[in-house]
């Protein structure tokens, strides 16, 4: 029995029952894969149901307002994913008559869709004979092959893609790909892999060599920079809160926020601002490429005293209307602590 056949057979008996696996609907596969790129499955299921209920198909997503799409994405982070979904839905309506291309080589041309998502849609929705590689699959393959090449190197991923495309030959690609992902998630875990119940135990060179706990290998990580920010609660005479919308591109693109500014570490350490204001708290927010140390202050009715650049493009809303706007996860956490 080949590796591909073992994985497929194991999945049909032991695979996880997830909502997006019960359909070959390319749209639902797409939404689920994008949500799960940076979200744990347990958390992602609720977001998936919520998003699909409001935007059940390509047309409903394409015809929506971007503010509403961002609101339904609120809390998932990496909001460029939501903006790309929206742009790709409109592209599908105008260029593809509201239907997905059926091969991953065409799907990858859509906005925001990379090799992984394109192959996932191609396999799960259209049966493309291709392997789908995510972090779990990279770990399984590194151990099975006993390969010490850094998995964050493009050469390694390309090499593994060629190998997994051989493994998937003569199998039903969807259960094969679901299966190898599930093996990585539930059996071949980062620590304490359950080798004795793994369907690939006899094929795994890492198991035979006793090196599975050393794999996979990642290249050297660069030190993560830290940036420091002050966020401000500013009210007008009606006790309405100042908010503003971020530019479409860049950090938290298109989302709303309260006035804020980046400051030097020495200023942040002093927990003070250059005008009257009450320190309310602070915490660290982690991004992919840097850490944000943020503090927040209540400036009360200080609109006239605050530096003008903080209130450029700002407007005031009743505090009870906050739920109508899409904010980043960090700002929502500030609201939770203060409001």
Give phi and psi for 227, each to the nearest 5: -120, 150
Going by C-alpha positions, the residue among 121, 118, 96 that lies closest to residue 26 is: 121
Q: Would you say residue 55 has pLDDT above 80?
A: yes
pLDDT for the residue numbered 161: 97
Token pair of 41 as six digits: 């499955």
Domain 3-214 has CATH 1.10.10.410: no
Backbone region of residue 254 per phi and psi (left: phi > 0; alpha: psi in -120 to 50; beta: other values)? left
Residue showing tokens 């992902």: 181
Q: Give dist(CA 309, CA 320) in Å, integer.
A: 26
b/e per residue, 233-252, with b = 16+ CB within 10 A?
bbbeeeeebbbebbeeeeeb
Q: What is the pTM of this model?
A: 0.82
Confidence of residue 309 (pLDDT cuts 50, 70, 90): confident
Query: Band of the pLDDT at 307, cuts 50, 70, 90?
Result: low
Tell me how far apart the alpha carbons of residues 114 and 223 are, in angstroms, rounded to a whole number.
27
Residue 268, pLDDT score: 84
Helix (H) and strand (E) counts in the chain:
14, 7
User: Could you give the count of Cα atoms lying within 13 Å of 92 in the half-sphere of its Cβ?
Assistant: 28
What was the pLDDT predicted at 291?
A: 94
Task: Give 226-338's CATH code, choosing from 2.160.10.10, 3.20.20.70, 3.90.79.10, 3.40.50.2000.
Answer: 3.90.79.10
Quick check: bond before 216 cis, omega within 30? Answer: yes
What digits encode the pLDDT tens for the residues 226-250? 999 999 999 988 999 999 999 988 8
- 308 is known as an active-site residue: no
Going by C-alpha positions, the residue among 127, 133, 135 that lies closest to residue 162 is 133
- Options 5, 33, 91, 320, the catalytic residue: 33
Instruction: Sort 299 into a burial class: Cβ within 10 Å, 0-12 / 13-18 / 19+.
Output: buried
- On whether the CB atoms of residues 316 and 242 are closer than 8 A, the answer is yes
- State the chain's maximal CA–CA distance in angstroms: 75
Whether pLDDT at 319 is above 90? yes
pLDDT number for residue 69: 96
Angle at the Cα of 99 from the Cα atoms of 94 and 104, rounded to 5 degrees: 105
Three-class SS of 120-145 = HHHHHHHCCCCCCCCHHHHHHHHHHH
Domain residue limits, the chain: 3-214, 226-338
Find the range with the poorest average confidence among 106-115, 307-316, 321-330: 307-316
Give the pLDDT mean for 92-99.
96
**Are 297 and 273 within 8 A, CB to CB?**
yes
Does residue 168 carry a pLDDT above 90? yes
The dihedrals phi and psi of 98, each to the nearest 5 degrees, come to 75, 15
How confident is the model over 308-316, as a mean pLDDT? 86
Percentage of residues of the chain with pLDDT beyond 70: 96
As a whole number, mean pLDDT of residues 245-273 equals 87
Q: Name the token pair of 36.
A: 């799960």
Q: Share the mean pLDDT of the chain.
A: 92
Radius of gyration of the chain (CA): 24
- Residue 293's nearest CA partner among 231, 227, 337, 233 is 227
The arithmetic mean of pLDDT across residues 215-220, rounded, is: 89
Among the listed residues 123, 105, 102, the one whose alpha carbon sits nearest the alpha carbon of residue 177: 123
For the segment 259-279, the average pLDDT, to the nearest whole number, is 82
Asked whether the predicted pLDDT for residue 304 surpasses 60, the reply is no
Angstrom distances, CA of residue 80 to CA of 48, 169, 224: 17, 35, 21
**Selection from 234, 233, 232 nearest residue 304 by Cα:** 234
> Tokens 């915490």, residue?
283
């Amino acid at each position: 029995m080949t590796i591909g056949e073992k994985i497929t057979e194991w999945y049909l008996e032991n695979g996880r029952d997830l909502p997006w696996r019960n359909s070959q609907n390319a749209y639902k596969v797409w939404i689920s894969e994008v949500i799960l790129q940076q979200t744990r499955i347990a958390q992602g299921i609720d977001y998936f149901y919520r998003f699909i209920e409001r935007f059940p198909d390509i047309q409903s997503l394409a015809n929506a307002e971007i503010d509403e799409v961002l609101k339904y994405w609120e809390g998932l982070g990496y909001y460029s994913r939501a903006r790309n979904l929206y742009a790709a839905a409109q592209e599908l309506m105008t260029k593809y008559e509201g239907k997905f291309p059926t091969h991953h080589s065409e799907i990858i041309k859509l906005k925001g869709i990379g090799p992984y998502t394109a192959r996932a849609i191609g396999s799960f929705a259209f049966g493309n004979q291709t392997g789908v590689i995510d972090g779990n699959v990279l770990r399984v393959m590194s151990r099975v092959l006993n390969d010490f090449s850094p998995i964050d190197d493009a050469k390694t991923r390309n090499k593994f893609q060629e190998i997994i495309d051989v493994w998937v030959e003569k199998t039903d690609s969807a259960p094969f790909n679901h299966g190898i992902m599930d093996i990585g998630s539930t059996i071949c875990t980062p620590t304490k892999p359950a080798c004795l119940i793994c369907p690939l135990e006899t094929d795994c060179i890492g198991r035979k060599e006793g090196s599975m706990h050393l794999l996979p290998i990642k290249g050297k990580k660069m030190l993560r920079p830290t940036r420091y920010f002050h966020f401000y609660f500013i009210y007008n005479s009606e006790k309405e809160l100042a908010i503003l919308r971020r530019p479409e591109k860049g950090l938290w693109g298109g989302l709303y926020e309260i006035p804020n500014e980046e400051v030097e570490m020495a200023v942040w350490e002093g927990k003070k601002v250059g005008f009257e204001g009450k320190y309310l708290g602070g915490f660290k927010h982690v991004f992919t490429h840097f850490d944000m140390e943020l503090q927040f202050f209540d400036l009360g009715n200080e609109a006239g005293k605050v530096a003008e650049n903080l209130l450029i493009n700002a407007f005031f809303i009743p505090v009870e209307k906050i739920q109508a706007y899409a904010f980043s996860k960090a700002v929502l956490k500030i609201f939770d602590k203060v409001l």
